[in-house]
Chain A
Amino acid sequence: MRRGLIGLAAFVLCGMLATEAADAARLGGARSSGVQRSVPKTPPTATPAKPAQQQAAPNQAAPAAQPQPSGLARWMPMLGGLALGGLLGYLFAGNGMGGILLLVLLAVGAVLLFRMFARRGAQSPQPIQYAGMNQGTTVAPPPAEAPGAVMPSAARFPGGFDAASFLRGAKMNFVKLQLANDQGKLDDIREFTTDEMFEALERDVIGRHGVGQQTDIESLDAQVVDFATEGQQHWVSVRFSGRVREAAEADPVDFAEVWNLVKPADGSSGWLLAGIQQMH
Protein backbone atom coordinates (compact mmCIF):
# COMPACT_ATOMS: atom_id res chain seq x y z
CA MET A 1 0.00 0.00 0.00
CA ARG A 2 2.72 2.39 1.06
CA ARG A 3 4.86 1.47 -1.93
CA GLY A 4 1.87 2.15 -4.16
CA LEU A 5 1.40 5.57 -2.62
CA ILE A 6 5.07 6.44 -3.05
CA GLY A 7 4.89 5.32 -6.65
CA LEU A 8 1.82 7.45 -7.24
CA ALA A 9 3.48 10.46 -5.59
CA ALA A 10 6.60 10.01 -7.72
CA PHE A 11 4.46 9.75 -10.85
CA VAL A 12 2.55 12.93 -10.03
CA LEU A 13 5.79 14.74 -9.18
CA CYS A 14 7.44 13.69 -12.44
CA GLY A 15 4.37 14.84 -14.33
CA MET A 16 4.57 18.24 -12.62
CA LEU A 17 8.24 18.58 -13.39
CA ALA A 18 7.71 17.69 -17.02
CA THR A 19 5.01 20.34 -17.35
CA GLU A 20 7.21 22.96 -15.73
CA ALA A 21 10.12 22.12 -18.02
CA ALA A 22 7.96 22.21 -21.13
CA ASP A 23 6.83 25.78 -20.45
CA ALA A 24 10.16 27.36 -19.64
CA ALA A 25 13.10 27.55 -22.03
CA ARG A 26 16.20 29.60 -22.68
CA LEU A 27 16.36 32.41 -25.22
CA GLY A 28 15.02 31.24 -28.56
CA GLY A 29 13.11 28.39 -26.92
CA ALA A 30 16.00 25.92 -27.46
CA ARG A 31 15.03 25.91 -31.17
CA SER A 32 16.88 27.09 -34.24
CA SER A 33 15.62 30.42 -35.46
CA GLY A 34 16.64 33.42 -37.55
CA VAL A 35 19.63 33.37 -39.90
CA GLN A 36 21.19 29.90 -40.28
CA ARG A 37 24.76 29.64 -41.56
CA SER A 38 27.02 26.81 -42.54
CA VAL A 39 29.05 25.89 -39.46
CA PRO A 40 30.57 22.58 -38.35
CA LYS A 41 28.18 20.48 -36.25
CA THR A 42 30.92 19.21 -33.99
CA PRO A 43 32.96 21.29 -31.59
CA PRO A 44 35.90 22.90 -33.36
CA THR A 45 38.52 21.13 -31.25
CA ALA A 46 38.84 17.48 -30.36
CA THR A 47 39.49 18.32 -26.73
CA PRO A 48 36.63 18.86 -24.28
CA ALA A 49 35.35 22.39 -23.75
CA LYS A 50 37.62 24.49 -21.62
CA PRO A 51 37.06 27.80 -19.86
CA ALA A 52 37.73 30.92 -21.89
CA GLN A 53 40.77 31.91 -19.92
CA GLN A 54 42.51 28.79 -21.23
CA GLN A 55 41.03 28.05 -24.61
CA ALA A 56 40.91 31.54 -26.09
CA ALA A 57 44.67 31.93 -26.09
CA PRO A 58 45.41 30.25 -29.47
CA ASN A 59 43.16 32.75 -31.26
CA GLN A 60 44.93 35.80 -30.02
CA ALA A 61 47.36 37.40 -32.36
CA ALA A 62 50.02 37.74 -29.66
CA PRO A 63 48.91 36.16 -26.41
CA ALA A 64 51.03 36.72 -23.34
CA ALA A 65 53.26 33.68 -22.82
CA GLN A 66 51.51 31.63 -20.16
CA PRO A 67 52.41 28.07 -19.30
CA GLN A 68 49.42 25.88 -20.12
CA PRO A 69 49.13 22.82 -17.92
CA SER A 70 49.03 19.52 -19.75
CA GLY A 71 45.80 17.51 -19.93
CA LEU A 72 46.54 15.43 -16.90
CA ALA A 73 48.10 18.27 -14.98
CA ARG A 74 44.78 20.07 -15.21
CA TRP A 75 43.15 17.19 -13.37
CA MET A 76 45.79 17.06 -10.69
CA PRO A 77 44.02 19.40 -8.28
CA MET A 78 40.87 17.33 -8.44
CA LEU A 79 42.71 14.01 -8.15
CA GLY A 80 44.91 15.31 -5.38
CA GLY A 81 41.92 16.68 -3.57
CA LEU A 82 39.82 13.56 -3.91
CA ALA A 83 42.52 11.03 -3.22
CA LEU A 84 44.23 12.82 -0.39
CA GLY A 85 41.46 14.87 1.16
CA GLY A 86 39.83 11.93 2.89
CA LEU A 87 43.07 11.05 4.65
CA LEU A 88 43.31 14.27 6.61
CA GLY A 89 40.75 13.17 9.16
CA TYR A 90 42.98 10.19 9.81
CA LEU A 91 46.00 12.45 10.09
CA PHE A 92 44.46 14.64 12.72
CA ALA A 93 42.93 11.68 14.55
CA GLY A 94 46.25 9.84 14.82
CA ASN A 95 49.27 11.09 16.75
CA GLY A 96 50.72 14.30 15.39
CA MET A 97 54.17 13.22 14.23
CA GLY A 98 53.14 9.98 12.50
CA GLY A 99 50.41 11.91 10.77
CA ILE A 100 52.74 14.61 9.52
CA LEU A 101 55.13 12.05 8.10
CA LEU A 102 52.33 10.52 6.10
CA LEU A 103 51.31 13.99 5.01
CA VAL A 104 54.85 14.72 3.84
CA LEU A 105 54.90 11.45 1.92
CA LEU A 106 51.61 12.32 0.26
CA ALA A 107 52.86 15.75 -0.71
CA VAL A 108 56.08 14.28 -2.13
CA GLY A 109 54.08 11.73 -4.11
CA ALA A 110 51.73 14.38 -5.44
CA VAL A 111 54.58 16.57 -6.62
CA LEU A 112 56.43 13.71 -8.29
CA LEU A 113 53.26 12.67 -10.09
CA PHE A 114 52.60 16.23 -11.10
CA ARG A 115 56.10 16.69 -12.52
CA MET A 116 55.88 13.39 -14.36
CA PHE A 117 52.62 14.41 -16.02
CA ALA A 118 53.87 17.90 -16.74
CA ARG A 119 56.98 16.52 -18.46
CA ARG A 120 54.95 14.03 -20.47
CA GLY A 121 52.55 16.81 -21.48
CA ALA A 122 55.43 18.97 -22.66
CA GLN A 123 56.83 16.15 -24.79
CA SER A 124 53.61 15.10 -26.46
CA PRO A 125 53.81 17.26 -29.60
CA GLN A 126 57.25 15.89 -30.43
CA PRO A 127 56.34 12.39 -31.72
CA ILE A 128 54.89 13.85 -34.94
CA GLN A 129 57.60 12.76 -37.36
CA TYR A 130 57.63 12.38 -41.11
CA ALA A 131 59.29 9.47 -42.87
CA GLY A 132 62.65 10.34 -44.40
CA MET A 133 63.04 13.51 -42.44
CA ASN A 134 65.82 14.19 -40.02
CA GLN A 135 64.67 14.50 -36.48
CA GLY A 136 66.33 17.87 -36.21
CA THR A 137 64.21 19.43 -38.96
CA THR A 138 60.82 18.30 -37.69
CA VAL A 139 58.72 21.08 -36.27
CA ALA A 140 55.66 20.38 -34.17
CA PRO A 141 52.62 22.26 -35.50
CA PRO A 142 51.29 25.05 -33.30
CA PRO A 143 48.22 23.99 -31.28
CA ALA A 144 45.74 25.84 -33.48
CA GLU A 145 46.83 23.93 -36.58
CA ALA A 146 47.21 20.53 -34.93
CA PRO A 147 45.41 17.64 -36.67
CA GLY A 148 41.72 17.56 -35.79
CA ALA A 149 41.47 21.26 -35.08
CA VAL A 150 39.37 23.19 -37.56
CA MET A 151 39.57 26.40 -35.59
CA PRO A 152 40.02 29.32 -37.94
CA SER A 153 43.53 30.60 -37.47
CA ALA A 154 44.21 34.10 -36.27
CA ALA A 155 45.09 35.09 -39.83
CA ARG A 156 41.41 34.85 -40.81
CA PHE A 157 40.32 37.42 -38.30
CA PRO A 158 40.58 41.03 -39.39
CA GLY A 159 43.27 43.12 -37.77
CA GLY A 160 42.45 44.30 -34.30
CA PHE A 161 39.99 41.49 -33.62
CA ASP A 162 40.76 40.40 -30.08
CA ALA A 163 39.15 36.96 -29.83
CA ALA A 164 39.61 36.64 -26.05
CA SER A 165 37.84 39.86 -25.16
CA PHE A 166 35.27 39.31 -27.93
CA LEU A 167 34.36 35.95 -26.40
CA ARG A 168 34.19 37.45 -22.93
CA GLY A 169 31.75 40.05 -24.21
CA ALA A 170 29.81 37.36 -26.08
CA LYS A 171 29.41 35.31 -22.92
CA MET A 172 28.25 38.33 -20.95
CA ASN A 173 25.66 39.14 -23.58
CA PHE A 174 24.56 35.51 -23.65
CA VAL A 175 23.86 35.63 -19.91
CA LYS A 176 22.30 39.12 -20.12
CA LEU A 177 19.94 38.03 -22.89
CA GLN A 178 18.84 34.98 -20.90
CA LEU A 179 18.02 37.31 -17.99
CA ALA A 180 16.16 39.73 -20.26
CA ASN A 181 14.23 36.81 -21.75
CA ASP A 182 13.38 35.42 -18.29
CA GLN A 183 12.09 38.77 -17.13
CA GLY A 184 10.38 39.63 -20.42
CA LYS A 185 12.46 42.80 -20.87
CA LEU A 186 11.88 43.31 -24.58
CA ASP A 187 13.86 46.57 -24.76
CA ASP A 188 16.98 44.78 -23.53
CA ILE A 189 16.49 42.05 -26.13
CA ARG A 190 15.94 44.59 -28.91
CA GLU A 191 19.26 46.26 -28.11
CA PHE A 192 21.24 43.13 -29.03
CA THR A 193 19.21 41.61 -31.88
CA THR A 194 18.40 42.25 -35.53
CA ASP A 195 14.81 43.24 -36.32
CA GLU A 196 13.94 39.79 -37.71
CA MET A 197 15.42 37.95 -34.76
CA PHE A 198 13.72 40.32 -32.33
CA GLU A 199 10.32 39.53 -33.82
CA ALA A 200 10.84 35.80 -33.27
CA LEU A 201 12.04 36.29 -29.68
CA GLU A 202 9.25 38.77 -28.95
CA ARG A 203 6.67 36.14 -29.95
CA ASP A 204 8.15 33.75 -27.36
CA VAL A 205 8.00 36.36 -24.60
CA ILE A 206 4.43 37.41 -25.46
CA GLY A 207 3.43 33.74 -25.67
CA ARG A 208 4.35 33.28 -22.01
CA HIS A 209 1.69 35.86 -21.01
CA GLY A 210 3.86 37.60 -18.46
CA VAL A 211 4.75 34.44 -16.52
CA GLY A 212 8.34 34.78 -15.29
CA GLN A 213 10.91 32.01 -15.57
CA GLN A 214 14.44 31.39 -14.37
CA THR A 215 17.14 30.13 -16.70
CA ASP A 216 20.05 29.01 -14.57
CA ILE A 217 23.28 28.59 -16.53
CA GLU A 218 25.57 26.19 -14.69
CA SER A 219 28.54 26.38 -17.03
CA LEU A 220 29.26 28.34 -20.17
CA ASP A 221 31.90 28.04 -22.84
CA ALA A 222 32.18 30.01 -26.05
CA GLN A 223 34.26 29.52 -29.19
CA VAL A 224 34.41 31.39 -32.45
CA VAL A 225 33.64 28.81 -35.17
CA ASP A 226 33.43 31.07 -38.20
CA PHE A 227 34.24 34.57 -39.28
CA ALA A 228 33.30 36.02 -42.64
CA THR A 229 32.86 39.34 -44.37
CA GLU A 230 30.06 39.32 -46.94
CA GLY A 231 29.26 42.53 -48.80
CA GLN A 232 28.95 45.27 -46.25
CA GLN A 233 28.58 42.95 -43.28
CA HIS A 234 30.85 41.04 -40.92
CA TRP A 235 29.55 37.71 -39.62
CA VAL A 236 30.76 35.83 -36.58
CA SER A 237 29.42 32.45 -35.52
CA VAL A 238 29.95 31.76 -31.83
CA ARG A 239 29.38 28.30 -30.45
CA PHE A 240 28.02 28.41 -26.90
CA SER A 241 27.97 25.20 -24.92
CA GLY A 242 27.60 24.13 -21.33
CA ARG A 243 24.85 23.13 -18.95
CA VAL A 244 21.63 24.95 -18.30
CA ARG A 245 18.66 24.47 -15.98
CA GLU A 246 15.60 25.89 -17.65
CA ALA A 247 13.13 25.53 -14.78
CA ALA A 248 13.73 25.69 -11.05
CA GLU A 249 12.94 22.01 -10.41
CA ALA A 250 14.30 20.59 -13.66
CA ASP A 251 17.58 18.75 -14.04
CA PRO A 252 20.31 20.70 -15.82
CA VAL A 253 20.81 19.68 -19.44
CA ASP A 254 23.76 19.98 -21.80
CA PHE A 255 23.31 22.46 -24.60
CA ALA A 256 25.26 23.55 -27.64
CA GLU A 257 24.06 26.25 -29.99
CA VAL A 258 25.67 28.59 -32.45
CA TRP A 259 24.75 32.25 -32.37
CA ASN A 260 25.19 34.02 -35.67
CA LEU A 261 26.17 37.61 -35.01
CA VAL A 262 26.24 40.35 -37.62
CA LYS A 263 27.78 43.80 -37.68
CA PRO A 264 27.80 46.39 -40.49
CA ALA A 265 31.31 46.83 -41.91
CA ASP A 266 31.04 50.60 -41.52
CA GLY A 267 30.74 50.12 -37.76
CA SER A 268 27.39 51.92 -37.55
CA SER A 269 26.21 49.43 -34.95
CA GLY A 270 27.66 46.77 -32.68
CA TRP A 271 27.29 43.00 -33.03
CA LEU A 272 23.65 41.93 -33.23
CA LEU A 273 22.17 38.46 -32.82
CA ALA A 274 20.74 37.41 -36.19
CA GLY A 275 20.09 33.72 -35.66
CA ILE A 276 20.43 30.73 -33.34
CA GLN A 277 21.33 27.24 -34.55
CA GLN A 278 20.95 24.21 -32.28
CA MET A 279 23.89 21.82 -32.48
CA HIS A 280 22.31 18.84 -30.69
Chain B
Amino acid sequence: MKDPTDFGYEQVPEADKARRVGAVFDRVAERYDLMNDLMSLGLHRLWKAFAISIARPRPGDRILDVASGSADLASSIGRRVMPGGQVWLADINRRMLERGRDRVLDDGLLAPAVQCDAERLPFPAEYFDCVTVAFGLRNMTHKDRALAEMTRVLKPGGRLVILEFSKVWKPLERAYDFYSFRVLPWLGKQVAGDAAAYRYLAESIRMHPDQPTLAGMLERAGLSRVEVFNLAAGVVAVHRGYRI
Protein backbone atom coordinates (compact mmCIF):
# COMPACT_ATOMS: atom_id res chain seq x y z
CA MET B 1 0.00 0.00 0.00
CA LYS B 2 1.40 3.38 -0.95
CA ASP B 3 1.88 5.75 2.03
CA PRO B 4 -0.48 4.05 4.47
CA THR B 5 -1.99 6.12 7.28
CA ASP B 6 -4.17 5.30 10.27
CA PHE B 7 -7.94 5.23 10.08
CA GLY B 8 -8.66 4.07 13.60
CA TYR B 9 -6.68 0.82 13.92
CA GLU B 10 -6.94 0.20 10.19
CA GLN B 11 -4.21 1.15 7.76
CA VAL B 12 -5.63 2.84 4.68
CA PRO B 13 -4.00 4.59 1.73
CA GLU B 14 -3.29 8.21 2.65
CA ALA B 15 -5.48 9.49 -0.14
CA ASP B 16 -8.46 7.61 1.32
CA LYS B 17 -8.46 8.91 4.89
CA ALA B 18 -10.17 12.25 4.26
CA ARG B 19 -12.92 10.54 2.25
CA ARG B 20 -13.50 7.89 4.93
CA VAL B 21 -13.57 10.44 7.76
CA GLY B 22 -15.99 12.46 5.65
CA ALA B 23 -18.23 9.42 5.27
CA VAL B 24 -18.25 8.90 9.05
CA PHE B 25 -19.43 12.47 9.63
CA ASP B 26 -22.01 12.28 6.86
CA ARG B 27 -23.49 9.24 8.57
CA VAL B 28 -23.62 10.68 12.09
CA ALA B 29 -24.29 14.37 11.33
CA GLU B 30 -27.97 14.25 12.33
CA ARG B 31 -27.33 12.77 15.76
CA TYR B 32 -23.94 14.37 16.32
CA ASP B 33 -24.86 16.74 19.15
CA LEU B 34 -27.01 14.20 20.97
CA MET B 35 -24.22 11.64 20.81
CA ASN B 36 -21.68 14.12 22.15
CA ASP B 37 -23.88 14.72 25.17
CA LEU B 38 -24.53 11.05 25.79
CA MET B 39 -20.94 9.93 25.30
CA SER B 40 -19.38 12.56 27.51
CA LEU B 41 -22.34 12.80 29.92
CA GLY B 42 -22.63 16.45 28.99
CA LEU B 43 -19.02 17.18 29.91
CA HIS B 44 -18.01 18.21 26.40
CA ARG B 45 -19.77 21.50 27.06
CA LEU B 46 -17.49 22.19 30.02
CA TRP B 47 -14.42 21.12 28.07
CA LYS B 48 -15.31 23.52 25.26
CA ALA B 49 -15.96 26.34 27.72
CA PHE B 50 -12.54 25.68 29.25
CA ALA B 51 -10.85 25.69 25.83
CA ILE B 52 -12.48 29.05 25.08
CA SER B 53 -11.20 30.50 28.34
CA ILE B 54 -7.71 29.30 27.35
CA ALA B 55 -8.10 30.85 23.88
CA ARG B 56 -9.06 34.12 25.60
CA PRO B 57 -10.99 35.80 22.77
CA ARG B 58 -11.10 39.60 23.03
CA PRO B 59 -13.27 42.23 21.36
CA GLY B 60 -11.89 42.99 17.91
CA ASP B 61 -10.10 39.65 17.50
CA ARG B 62 -10.30 37.77 14.21
CA ILE B 63 -10.54 34.07 15.07
CA LEU B 64 -10.58 30.96 12.90
CA ASP B 65 -12.37 27.88 14.20
CA VAL B 66 -11.03 24.91 12.25
CA ALA B 67 -13.17 21.75 12.04
CA SER B 68 -15.90 23.87 13.55
CA GLY B 69 -18.58 21.19 12.99
CA SER B 70 -21.80 22.25 14.65
CA ALA B 71 -20.12 25.49 15.78
CA ASP B 72 -20.27 25.00 19.54
CA LEU B 73 -16.99 26.85 19.93
CA ALA B 74 -17.56 29.44 17.22
CA SER B 75 -20.89 30.53 18.68
CA SER B 76 -19.45 31.40 22.08
CA ILE B 77 -16.32 32.91 20.59
CA GLY B 78 -18.33 35.03 18.13
CA ARG B 79 -20.06 36.82 20.97
CA ARG B 80 -16.83 37.55 22.83
CA VAL B 81 -15.04 39.13 19.89
CA MET B 82 -17.82 41.68 19.42
CA PRO B 83 -17.73 44.56 18.81
CA GLY B 84 -15.40 44.74 15.88
CA GLY B 85 -14.23 41.14 15.84
CA GLN B 86 -15.02 38.21 13.61
CA VAL B 87 -15.09 34.45 13.84
CA TRP B 88 -14.67 32.26 10.74
CA LEU B 89 -16.01 28.72 10.52
CA ALA B 90 -13.99 26.18 8.57
CA ASP B 91 -14.80 22.54 8.06
CA ILE B 92 -13.98 19.99 5.40
CA ASN B 93 -17.43 18.38 5.66
CA ARG B 94 -20.21 20.28 3.95
CA ARG B 95 -23.09 18.89 6.01
CA MET B 96 -21.41 19.68 9.29
CA LEU B 97 -20.46 23.15 8.04
CA GLU B 98 -24.06 23.87 7.02
CA ARG B 99 -25.25 22.87 10.47
CA GLY B 100 -22.67 25.15 12.04
CA ARG B 101 -23.55 28.06 9.77
CA ASP B 102 -27.27 27.77 10.62
CA ARG B 103 -26.55 27.37 14.31
CA VAL B 104 -24.43 30.52 14.45
CA LEU B 105 -27.13 32.47 12.61
CA ASP B 106 -29.77 31.21 15.06
CA ASP B 107 -27.55 32.71 17.76
CA GLY B 108 -27.81 36.06 15.98
CA LEU B 109 -24.22 36.13 14.74
CA LEU B 110 -22.76 36.65 11.30
CA ALA B 111 -19.81 34.37 10.64
CA PRO B 112 -18.27 33.52 7.29
CA ALA B 113 -18.22 29.75 6.70
CA VAL B 114 -15.55 28.20 4.48
CA GLN B 115 -15.42 24.60 3.34
CA CYS B 116 -11.73 23.80 3.25
CA ASP B 117 -8.98 21.39 4.19
CA ALA B 118 -7.01 22.36 7.30
CA GLU B 119 -3.85 21.22 5.53
CA ARG B 120 -4.38 23.89 2.87
CA LEU B 121 -6.06 26.87 4.49
CA PRO B 122 -7.27 29.47 1.97
CA PHE B 123 -6.08 32.44 4.06
CA PRO B 124 -3.07 34.74 3.84
CA ALA B 125 -0.24 34.39 6.35
CA GLU B 126 -0.53 36.25 9.67
CA TYR B 127 -4.27 36.82 9.31
CA PHE B 128 -5.82 35.57 12.60
CA ASP B 129 -5.34 36.48 16.26
CA CYS B 130 -6.28 32.99 17.30
CA VAL B 131 -6.97 29.61 15.71
CA THR B 132 -9.02 27.02 17.58
CA VAL B 133 -9.68 23.39 16.74
CA ALA B 134 -11.89 21.27 18.98
CA PHE B 135 -12.02 17.50 18.42
CA GLY B 136 -10.82 17.93 14.85
CA LEU B 137 -7.05 17.44 14.72
CA ARG B 138 -7.42 13.69 15.32
CA ASN B 139 -9.23 13.27 12.01
CA MET B 140 -6.67 15.08 9.90
CA THR B 141 -4.48 12.97 7.65
CA HIS B 142 -1.25 14.95 8.07
CA LYS B 143 -1.39 16.51 11.51
CA ASP B 144 2.04 18.10 11.07
CA ARG B 145 0.95 19.83 7.85
CA ALA B 146 -2.28 21.02 9.44
CA LEU B 147 -0.39 22.39 12.46
CA ALA B 148 2.04 24.18 10.16
CA GLU B 149 -0.86 25.70 8.21
CA MET B 150 -2.66 26.86 11.34
CA THR B 151 0.60 28.39 12.56
CA ARG B 152 1.14 30.13 9.22
CA VAL B 153 -2.19 31.99 9.34
CA LEU B 154 -1.54 33.20 12.92
CA LYS B 155 -0.34 36.75 13.47
CA PRO B 156 2.81 37.11 15.54
CA GLY B 157 1.59 36.88 19.14
CA GLY B 158 -1.42 34.85 18.02
CA ARG B 159 -2.31 31.58 19.70
CA LEU B 160 -3.34 28.14 18.56
CA VAL B 161 -5.66 26.27 20.93
CA ILE B 162 -6.32 22.57 20.42
CA LEU B 163 -8.97 20.64 22.35
CA GLU B 164 -8.65 16.95 21.68
CA PHE B 165 -8.97 13.52 23.26
CA SER B 166 -5.71 12.51 24.81
CA LYS B 167 -4.07 9.84 26.94
CA VAL B 168 -6.00 9.03 30.08
CA TRP B 169 -4.34 8.69 33.48
CA LYS B 170 -2.79 5.20 33.69
CA PRO B 171 -4.90 3.72 36.57
CA LEU B 172 -8.10 4.56 34.65
CA GLU B 173 -6.92 3.02 31.39
CA ARG B 174 -8.72 -0.34 31.67
CA ALA B 175 -12.03 1.19 32.64
CA TYR B 176 -11.71 3.76 29.86
CA ASP B 177 -10.94 1.03 27.32
CA PHE B 178 -14.00 -0.92 28.39
CA TYR B 179 -16.15 2.18 28.01
CA SER B 180 -14.63 3.08 24.62
CA PHE B 181 -14.73 -0.32 22.98
CA ARG B 182 -17.87 -1.85 24.52
CA VAL B 183 -20.16 0.98 25.51
CA LEU B 184 -19.48 3.60 22.85
CA PRO B 185 -20.06 1.44 19.74
CA TRP B 186 -23.22 0.05 21.35
CA LEU B 187 -24.42 3.55 22.20
CA GLY B 188 -23.60 4.68 18.68
CA LYS B 189 -25.63 1.82 17.24
CA GLN B 190 -28.67 2.58 19.41
CA VAL B 191 -28.73 6.33 18.92
CA ALA B 192 -27.02 7.13 15.64
CA GLY B 193 -27.63 3.71 14.07
CA ASP B 194 -23.94 3.31 13.40
CA ALA B 195 -21.60 1.27 15.58
CA ALA B 196 -18.69 1.47 13.12
CA ALA B 197 -18.52 5.25 13.27
CA TYR B 198 -18.14 5.15 17.03
CA ARG B 199 -15.68 2.28 16.92
CA TYR B 200 -13.64 4.54 14.66
CA LEU B 201 -13.91 7.26 17.32
CA ALA B 202 -12.52 4.99 20.04
CA GLU B 203 -9.73 3.70 17.82
CA SER B 204 -8.74 7.10 16.48
CA ILE B 205 -8.43 8.37 20.07
CA ARG B 206 -5.91 5.58 20.80
CA MET B 207 -3.93 6.41 17.65
CA HIS B 208 -3.78 10.12 18.47
CA PRO B 209 -0.48 11.37 19.90
CA ASP B 210 -0.38 11.70 23.70
CA GLN B 211 0.13 15.00 25.54
CA PRO B 212 3.96 15.33 25.35
CA THR B 213 4.09 14.08 21.74
CA LEU B 214 1.50 16.59 20.57
CA ALA B 215 3.23 19.38 22.52
CA GLY B 216 6.42 18.48 20.62
CA MET B 217 4.54 18.62 17.33
CA LEU B 218 3.30 22.12 18.15
CA GLU B 219 6.86 23.21 18.83
CA ARG B 220 8.09 21.70 15.57
CA ALA B 221 5.31 23.57 13.76
CA GLY B 222 6.91 26.79 15.01
CA LEU B 223 4.89 27.56 18.14
CA SER B 224 6.41 28.69 21.43
CA ARG B 225 5.43 28.65 25.10
CA VAL B 226 3.46 25.45 24.52
CA GLU B 227 1.30 24.49 27.50
CA VAL B 228 -0.89 21.44 28.16
CA PHE B 229 -4.01 21.41 30.33
CA ASN B 230 -5.40 17.99 31.21
CA LEU B 231 -9.16 17.61 31.75
CA ALA B 232 -11.06 14.64 33.19
CA ALA B 233 -7.83 12.83 34.10
CA GLY B 234 -6.43 13.19 30.59
CA VAL B 235 -9.48 11.93 28.71
CA VAL B 236 -9.12 15.23 26.91
CA ALA B 237 -6.40 17.86 26.88
CA VAL B 238 -6.08 21.45 25.76
CA HIS B 239 -2.80 22.43 24.08
CA ARG B 240 -1.95 26.08 23.60
CA GLY B 241 1.01 27.54 21.75
CA TYR B 242 1.95 31.05 20.68
CA ARG B 243 3.44 32.20 17.44
CA ILE B 244 6.19 34.53 18.53
Q: Is B175 a contact of A220 with CB atoms below 8 Å?
A: no
Question: Is there contact, CB below 8 Å, between B41 and A85?
Answer: yes
Chain A residues lying within 8 Å of B79, measured Cβ to Cβ, are: 216
Whether the Cβ atoms of B37 and A172 lie closer than 8 Å is no
Number of interface residues of A (CB under 8 A): 46
Q: Is B16 an interface residue (CB 8 A)?
A: no
- Interface-lining segment among A32-40, A73-81, A271-279: A73-81
Q: Which residues of the other chain, B, contact A244 by a CB distance below 8 angstroms?
A: 108
B171 at the interface (CB under 8 A from A): yes
Residues of chain B at interface, number, CB under 8 A: 37
On whether A81 and B41 interact (CB within 8 A), knowing A107-B183, A115-B190, A214-B83, the answer reads yes
Q: Could you tell me the distance between the alpha carbons of A56 and B38 in the complex, rounded to whole angstroms?
A: 27
| B38 in contact with A77 (CB, 8 Å) | yes
Q: Mark A181-199, 1 if CB is under 8 A from B, else 0.
A: 0100000000000000000
Collect the chain A residues with CB atoms within 8 Å of residue B82's CB.
214, 216
Could you give, for residues 9-52 of chain B, a 1 whenever the CB lies within 8 Å of some chain A CB and a 0 otherwise? Answer: 00000000000000000000010011011100111011000000
Which residue, of B30, B36, B108, has the highest number of chain A Cβ atoms within 10 A? Answer: B108
What's the Cα separation between A82 and B37 when bound, in Å? Answer: 10
Nearest neighbor of B44 in chain A, beta-carbon distance? A81
Contacting residues, chain A, for B105 (C-beta < 8 A): 52, 168, 171-172, 175, 220
Closest residue to A178 on the B side, CB-wise? B108
A203-223 interface code vs B (CB 8 A; 1 in, 0 out): 000000000001011111100
B102 touching A51 by the CB < 8 A rule? Answer: yes
Give Cα A88–Cα B36 distance, bound, in whole angstroms: 15
Measured CA separation A171–B105 after assembly (Å): 7
Query: Could you tell me the distance in whole angstroms from the C-beta of B141 to the nearest C-beta in chain A?
Result: 29
Closest to A56 in B: B102
Contact B172 A80 (CB under 8 A): no
State which residues 179-228 of B face A: CB under 8 Å.
Answer: 179, 182-183, 187, 190-191
Sorted from nearest, which 3 A-B pairs have the closest CB atoms?
A81-B42, A217-B108, A85-B42
CB-defined A-B contacts under 8 Å, sample of 18: A51-B103, A67-B30, A77-B33, A81-B37, A81-B45, A84-B42, A85-B45, A88-B232, A107-B187, A111-B38, A171-B105, A172-B105, A175-B105, A176-B110, A182-B83, A214-B82, A216-B79, A220-B105
